[in-house]
Amino acid sequence: MKVGFIGLGTMGGSMAYNALQGGHELVVHDIRRESATRHLEAGAVWADTPREVAEASDIVLTSLPGPVEVEAVVLGEDGIGQGLTAGKVYLDLSTSTPGLIRKIHQELGARGIDVLDAPVSGGPKGAASRNLAIWVGGDKAVFERCKPVLDAIGDKAYYVGEVGSGSIAKLVHNCAGYVIQAALGEVFTMGVKAGVEPLALWQAVRKGATGRRGPFEGLAEHLLPGKFDPPDFALRLARKDVDLAVAVGREFDVPMRLANLTLMEMTEALNRGWGDRDSRVAMLLQEERAGVEVRVDPEVLAKVLEEEQG
């Protein structure tokens, strides 16, 4: 397949090179031509503008810093949009917004051009080694058509849903990670200031329940199926634990903003009469505020988990 690639930075450079190594013809462009040196030496072709990339390719991929750059490269003067014709595909690997990719889909789709959003996760090492998750939104048939290219770039190309879904999945993933990062900063500064050596603390907690599994795994046990009874660990006991941690923070003058917010949330849930339900029941408060239920049929969920384990 003739692949065009725009944006040869830390992530994009490796992904483009892997597409080339995967046997695809490659046309490249970047604001810095020197970024394409290894690609050109390996057989890629240089294009002077995004439009020229699009004219020479069947599928065009972008890996850019953010929404501003994506919009300029796709819809701006000499942009991808001016070079694409009906039947071709535009696929954005950048971390961007669902609103922008839906706008691009509407504008290019009116001319018969297919659009997918496909942000990636795995960092620079994953981009170089192909240990890379790719979350795709758009028409599923188009995803299947582009999958050989995606499989050359990463090892986990996953179809999420309609256009924009990939971007939403990426933002959920990254925002969760940084919120968890902030929380870890709080509790580890509390633990160290309270007298525990950092390495010993890290080695200890990573063997606990939270340390032994990823932060998203527990969702399949409680929130997704809406199952909070009988409890794995009661809310009243979990709230007590957080209250004790916050008290240690006060004793050693450690700010615990997120922990205090969590304590307030759990206290509100306790006052709803949920003390003997599973501690995750406090997540229902956020569902109420957001006006949405995060639910998956338990039988469907069980089947998905079984397939993943098999």
* Among 25, 32, 34, 35, residue whose Cα is nearest residue 4: 25
Alpha carbons within 13 angstroms on the beta-carbon side of residue 154 total: 24
Concatenate the DSSP letters of all residues of 186-230 into one string: HHHHHHHHTT--HHHHHHHHTTSHHHHS-TTGGGGTTTTTT--SS
Residue whose entry in the numeric block shows the structure tokens 């993943």 = 308
Number of Cα atoms under 13 Å in the Cβ half of residue 240? 7
| Eight-state DSSP code of residue 182 | H
Q: For residue 115, which of 165, 76, 186, 153 has the smallest C-alpha distance?
A: 165
Taking alpha carbons only, the member of 22, 89, 23, 18 closest to residue 53 is 89
Annotate 27-46 with b (16+ C-beta within 10 A) or e (fewer). Answer: bbbbeeeebbeebeeeebbe
DSSP string, 18-81: HHHHTT-EEEEE-SSGGGGHHHHHTT-EE-SSHHHHHHT-SEEEE--SSHHHHHHHHHSTT-HH
Catalytic residue list contains 88: no
With tokens 């009243």, the residue in question is: 236
Helix (H, G, I), strand (E, B) or coil at 254: coil
Centroid of chain to Cα 221: 21
Considering the candidates 88, 103, 147, 170, report the single residue annotated as catalytic.
170
Say how many C-beta atoms besides its own lie within 10 A of residue 156's C-beta. Answer: 16
Amino acid at 240: K
Q: CA angle at residue 151 from 24 to 45, to 5 degrees?
A: 25
Active site residues: 170
